[in-house]
Structure 1
Amino acid sequence: MEATAATVPKRRRMRRLQRMPLVSPRQWWRRMALWLGAVLVGLVAILFAKLADHAGGLFLSITGRWPWAALVVSPLCFGAAAWLTRRVFPGAQGSGIPQVIATLHMDDPAMISRVLSARIALGKVLLTLLGLCGGASIGREGPTVQVGASIMQAIGQRLRLPRIEAQRAMILAGGAAGVAAAFNTPLAGIVFAIEELSHSYESRTSGTVLTAVVIGGVVSLALVGNYAYFGVTSVELPIGLGWVAVLVCAVVGGLAGGGFSWALIRASAGLPGAFGRFVARRPVIFAASCGLAVAVIGLLSGGATYGTGYAQAAGLVAGEHQMPPSYVVSKFLATVVSYCSGIPGGIFAPSLSVGAALGGAISGLLPSAPAGAVVLLGMVAYFSGVVQAPITAAVIVMEMTSNQSLLIPLMATAFLATGVSKLVCRRPFYGALAMRFSRAMASH
């Protein structure tokens, strides 16, 4: 009896020891699963980026030889993507970021699993690539966020996390890691998770998000090196008359970005009248018509509006070439038409391209400010006007150009542009679409 009684305190001490975070087998199992998930998100994001570059390059190689081929290729790709979205991958349409935001406010695990299923994630990747093969003015960033969230959500299911907060932390971490790995912007991944996805900072989820972002960034660093997405710039904006560019870019970019968001939010609610009824009855034909419109815009712009717009933005940031002011309008229209078609795809890259071109156009009117600085201010102003997330916009542009010396002007421009944008579009773009998506899911 004495021996048995002596072993009871030992067992209790062993149980207490096993519950300690540093030695608990369950906690270590969860940590390793989180690390593995972050590595997978990084690998998928990098592979997606490479495939997206090849898809866009394939379309440009075809239209480079036969420019008029776009009138056939674009409608076919748009129509096929729309048909596959509805028949094979229902729920894969759109950016992907509103869907992730919506899941962070859901309490039903089954509904979350439907939105972040492996089937939809696969469809998101394949159909975005198909859209880029058709010259669509879309990006891969929104789909990457949803794919990253889907991977981490699936791992969270396998771990059977007991609390909904822990499951949401995994989803949040997946989306943030996707941004960090896709663009080699770890700070932007963290800020994006706080400001755009969750709209708050919670100490209980911060460790999970930070770990996933760091690992995703390490995977990107190991595979593609330490690169700046738009190249390295060292341009500065000294205090003085050049700061007029901050105000001008903020006003123009905020109005343009707010108008873009307002147009897409209204279009996502359904077009009015007979035309809206036609779109609802014949979505594939409408998508093919949008592809034809994108092809016509591309032909009129000399092929400049096709694809993500990365090459045009990178050239403007590096000062290697200038885009005509008409590019701002044509790229704006091509992005609106591509999004309204209903095919999967994001708006990050096209918005950054439009903003860079807008800054380039403004720089010609402000000789007192360095042209390279105005390009970056235009980029952050328009992007802030679109997403109304000023900190994310400033940090992502800073990291994409590896330019810390311009952070204060970028932040000032971003906050001013966000305020101006709200005069045109009162609701943030992703938040409004997430709310609409949540209502649609609840009604079903």
Structure 2
Amino acid sequence: MHIAIIGNGISGITAARTLRQLSADCQITVISAESDYFFSRTALMYVYMGHLRWKDIQPYEDWFWEKNRIQLKKARIQSIDTQAKTLHSDSGEPISYDKLIIASGSQPNKFGWPGQDLSGVHGLYSKQDLEAMEKGSVGLQSAVIVGGGLIGIEMAEMFHSRHIPVVFLVREPSFWNVTLPAEESDMINRHIREQGIDLRLNTELKEIIGDGTGKVGAVITSTGERISCGYVGLTAGVSPNIGFLQGSGIATQRGILVDAYLQTNAPDVYAIGDCAELQQPNPGRRAIEPVWYTGRMMGENVAHNILGKKITYQPGIWFNSAKFFDIEYQIYGQVPAQLKAGEASLYWEHPDGKKSIRIVYDQTTSAVLGFNLMGIRYRHEVCERWIQGKTPLENVLQNLSLANFDPEFFPEYEAALLEKYSTETGRKIQRRAKRSLRSVLQFLKSSQA
């Protein structure tokens, strides 16, 4: 059986590795036009910043692929004939398959801005984007970044590392306020500006102006201001990379529609990762989730399904992590930007304005629903157990030391959080002393029973 995989990101490569672990017989071909070998996409920024070399973000040695009999083919798939089970690429060589996995990832959003195709206008997603940013940074006097998400903050930090002035255009009234509650969003506003970034809220891109040589020279904003720049970063989100599927008969909406087994409407065709859109996502999960760990989970899941062990995709409780310059961010469970009916939250912020803890809970049952952390680390497994177990808020507060990540090296803030809770409710809670790793493991083991 020949299994073809379009895309060599975390989803496609995890699928290939899992297939080989499960089967010594199948033929596996991974096809990508982006790079010769799989690399860690989340580490692109650290190559630009000089912390890592390109080879450092390739998790596997070059010999790994031949040893594991995973064929790599550098080509761009232009169309798919699902009836003949054939891929057509820019090399002109047709590729036949028995089973097909589409893991084509995302592409930066473009909204038809005048000048968006000028030289010096790029997103930050691919190896080619990194190369364009490297080239464009030579002699660069200033840059403009459009869009207030995680990719935008990464690009701002990248330019900042080379002392290149940045104007950051965010159309919302506060940074990432579609995801972050108001207090956390305002914290990041302050922190961005403290780094010397010119953050412009309530400001959109209207037009990109050329310099007369085919390169970007300035932008015009929604306020009518002209800002001179030599580079424009388009970071207003990403969308599934599915344009090449036109005429294939594979059903799509925003992404490639898949069922709980990650199978499309086309026979023997599956889709995973950023390009896949679940027809019936689990409660609390989105139909499309372009994050690293869901791509990895989908890759493992689809390999089992293709080889006959039918397993539905179950991503579990939502979690994510990121970094806003020096402030780490973690979320476990559901912490909406605006609380829903019947929800409440306990929020504490450190006086330095760079650390906070938010716990969202059900007002009726007091069951904890989610954790939002800024500048503080909690143990993923512990938070997940509390959410899965619908643990009451006061029980969580009493045992919060279980969640501390390496408490020997990081400060604890339970006392301040409990004081905040006492002030708001008038209820006193006696917290338990610091807990050892052994206590944490015992808790996790007992909660599984």
TM-score, L = length of structure 1: 0.27
Question: Which structure carries more helix by proportion?
Answer: 1
Q: Which has the higher contact order (CA 8 A, sep 6+)?
A: 1
TM-score, L = length of structure 2: 0.26
Question: Which structure carries more strand by proportion?
Answer: 2
